[in-house]
Structure 1
Amino acid sequence: MATEIILPRVDMDMATGRVGAWHVSDGETVEKGQPLFEIETDKAAMEIEAPASGTLRITDPRTGVEMPVGGLLAWILAPGEALPEAVAQEAARSPSETQAATTGTAAAQGPSEAPKAPAEPVAVQNAAPALAGASTAIADNNDTPRATPFARRLAEQAGIDLNEIAGSGPRGRIQARDVQEAAPAKAPETRGPALHTPTPLSGAAQRAWLRRGNGTPSLLVHGFGADLSSWRPLLAAAGEAGPVLAVDLPGHGRSPLESEPGLEALADAVEAAALAEGLDTVHLAGHSLGGAVATLLAARGRIGIRSLLLIAPAGLGPAMNPDFVAGFLRAEGVASLEPWLRLLFARPAALPASLAAATLRQRRENPAMVESQRRLAAALLPDGTQAVDIRPLLASLSMPVKLIQGLEDHILPWRQVLGLPGTLALHLFADTGHMPQSEQPQAVARLWAELRRAGTDLH
């Protein structure tokens, strides 16, 4: 059955939004989880992925135009399907004609008549010619450089023309790092930490500024098997959180594992990334393995840590679910990976539909990733045991610390958070698993904001 693609609501206050760019042309075949387009609002910009596999038929190809939430943008058709005839004819009209016709029809009907719903998808042999206008509009829009939303924001802030940048991403797509590398000669005179020109440092983890703004930056460290994009649900709920830098741990995302695996080496890479961005004071947050890394960074004291947020951190006891790591690393397809990913959440339905496909796609693009993560697991989680212990480190910390833990964590036993120093604020969430930042984003965002304020007030 045909799948509608609409302009989604990406935050609670959103009423309208804009399509920043389409990544797929009309008539192309797409896979579930593949990025389709970028949506831009006053608060955020993000990619929207395909909810199903099939052939993409774009009915509204416009970009940069304010549209209401729920507006129809495209359909994904299964093999042998075609657009409903009425929809195909509508798609062949220009956006201005469509808007005028809609306005005129609404006026003629009067306020009491509701518009008719589109017909169910039926076989239409000549649907492709009917969408010629949409295909042409996409082709005309190809003059706009392909770039991620974050790269576009960086370029706008630094006054850089994207047409002058060669993209290093898939199909020549411009990434944030491409803009950062082009920024030194064109950066604004007045700039905060988020506009610092990166300094190459050997062993530094790859990183990306997920937010720009004023104030003390936040530094985010993800967990085992994830990457820096795992923080996006929390940031979507956080509203104005100031500048936010996230890193890819070595062996994850875009960061290669270049040294012997160990907690010290991971902390070194994150520390080098922060220093490369000119950061000497941050609000620090870490999830799972990243929580252990963040705790070690805080205890070292080489970077000023205003506050420390730990979400389901590793290193509080030896017990863990050894089957998860083994199954996660062994899986080679969606069918074998999804059952393990579901264990991250208290409710299996909370698993994002595209997570397995995105993880596998990342592995295909970086064949060394799985072996690197196996080496990390062997060093840090030998024989299914947590070999790191952050309890003594936590006892030595003086900055405000919050620890957030789900009571239905299937990866690390929640009871390991008991018996920690009384100066640490412990927040236990029912009906929540190993991913509180994704399962309870609003509540975690509120606690994080409180913690940052507390850390700022002390200085």
Structure 2
Amino acid sequence: MKPATLWPDDRLPAHRPPPPWPGRPVRLDGTVTYVRETPATGPGAEPALYLHGLGGSSQNWTDLAGLLADRLDGQAIDLPGFGRSEPGRRYTVASFADLTVRWIEHTDRGPVHLFGNSLGGAVAVRVAALRPDLVRTLTLISPALPFLDFRRSLQGRMLPVLAIPRGERLVAWRLAQLAPEVMAEQVIAACVADLSRISEQRRAEALEEIRVRYEADHYAAAYVRTFRGLVSSFLRSYLPGPDSLWRLAGTVTAPTLVVGGRQDRLVDVRVAPQTARAIPDSRLLMLDGVGHVAQVEVPRTVARAVLGLLGESQRRSGRSDVAP
């Protein structure tokens, strides 16, 4: 593990919050996966794939992908049951990783620069470990790798729901008690340390995403079952066997950037450094005053670290056109 390298800020485009990526439904293995795409703006751009966190969507990557479009041709998918994707049959880290592999193979874009936030980070680690041929570099932002002290997470108050049969009904009832505007503000406050960094445009988009959730009958079940699957993966990671996410992290060979916010309220802040120590070829960036979604809160800083990762990995491969 070593510190992340930040490229100069003037290498990035001027700050202009881009509009939402255009999206489209794609039928894959009998169900619809919704994908948003941002076309590359520079020559020689390489493919990238972005995976959101629990309760998130492909919209969470708009700003970062816009800043990286000169170098990366981006796609962001809504995982099954979230955003505008249809519900899935299973909601586990393994099943989401299988879908990600199928997506990369289906689109014939691999190997990709793979990004994951929170739950998406756990999924990305599994993909990078089991299918290294599909991953050029790995960027993990507040990855939800295993931790057992749920007092360090706002999600800890969800644990009793997992013990209730059909706990998704309780979650659906709770959603029905809150106006979408209230729920949107609560979600933003849980994920972001400094609310002044979130523009009115992004707030409006978050509200629209919440409205989509309210219209999706499957959302509560998808959320609860995914949370149950994530907690199960945490517990298995501390037991013998090959399915431990920590053991898988130790086998990742892709050059990796790990970003953590010191004010993360959803994933134990000790997880990002532990992840960087577990992955052999890793760089760590810990950000003061930043919460769970650094790519939303401080996208320029994250983009500078990503460019540092890309520059280093491309110089290793002998690219002569990569500036130091």
If the TM-score is normalised by the length of the shorter chain, which range does it land in?
0.7 to 0.9
Change (3 A) 1:357 1:204: closer
Shift of 1:433: 0.6
Change (3 A) 1:435 1:13: closer
Letter of the 1:430 partner, please give it. Answer: D
Find the residue that maps to 1:448 and give its secondary structure. Answer: helix
Aligned to 1:367: 217
Aligned to 1:376: 226
The answer (yes or no) to whether the contact 2:18–2:63 under 8 Å persists in 1 is no
Shift of 1:337: 4.7
Identical-residue share of aligned pairs (%) = 22
Aligned to 1:338: 185
The answer (yes or no) to whether the contact 1:238–1:446 under 8 Å persists in 2 is no
Find the residue that maps to 1:354 and give its secondary structure. Answer: helix
The answer (yes or no) to whether the contact 1:309–1:402 under 8 Å persists in 2 is yes
Change (3 A) 1:396 1:271: same
The answer (yes or no) to whether the contact 2:132–2:253 under 8 Å persists in 1 is no
Find the residue that maps to 1:314 and give its secondary structure. Answer: coil
CA–CA separation in structure 2 for the residues paired with 1:289 and 1:328: 19
CA–CA separation in structure 2 for the residues paired with 1:289 and 1:417: 13
How many residues are aligned here?
273
**Richer in helix (by share):** 2
CA–CA separation in structure 2 for the residues paired with 1:199 and 1:373: 22
Aligned to 1:118: none
The answer (yes or no) to whether the contact 1:380–1:388 under 8 Å persists in 2 is no
Aligned to 2:93: 263
Deviations 1:379-404 (A, max 9, x none): 2236xx94464221121111211100
- The runs of 5 or more residues in structure 2 that have no matched partner are 1-12, 162-169, 238-244, 318-324
Aligned to 1:276: 106
- Root mean square deviation of aligned Cα: 2.9
Query: What's the TM-score, normalizing by structure 1?
Result: 0.54
The answer (yes or no) to whether the contact 2:51–2:124 under 8 Å persists in 1 is yes
Deviations 1:94-128 (A, max 9, x none): xxxxxxxxxxxxxxxxxxxxxxxxxxxxxxxxxxx
Deviations 1:75-97 (A, max 9, x none): xxxxxxxxxxxxxxxxxxxxxxx
Tell which structure's C-alpha radius of gyration is larger: 1
Aligned to 2:19: 46
CA–CA separation in structure 1 for the residues paired with 2:18 and 2:129: 35
CA–CA separation in structure 1 for the residues paired with 2:122 and 2:32: 18
CA–CA separation in structure 2 for the residues paired with 1:378 and 1:313: 17
Deviations 1:400-443 (A, max 9, x none): 11100000101111112334236321110001010111111111
CA–CA separation in structure 2 for the residues paired with 1:398 and 1:418: 17
The answer (yes or no) to whether the contact 2:24–2:34 under 8 Å persists in 1 is no
Shift of 1:276: 1.5
Change (3 A) 1:324 1:290: farther
Find the residue that maps to 1:253 and give its secondary structure. Answer: coil
Shift of 1:290: 0.1
CA–CA separation in structure 2 for the residues paired with 1:13 and 1:409: 25
- The runs of 5 or more residues in structure 1 that have no matched partner are 1-10, 15-43, 48-148, 151-174, 178-197
Deviations 1:47-78 (A, max 9, x none): 5xxxxxxxxxxxxxxxxxxxxxxxxxxxxxxx
Q: Does 1:241 align with 2:71?
A: yes
If asked which structure has higher relative contact order (CA below 8 Å, sep 6+), I would say 2
Deviations 1:284-333 (A, max 9, x none): 11000000000100011164211100000001422332257579873332
Aligned to 1:411: 266
The answer (yes or no) to whether the contact 2:81–2:222 under 8 Å persists in 1 is yes
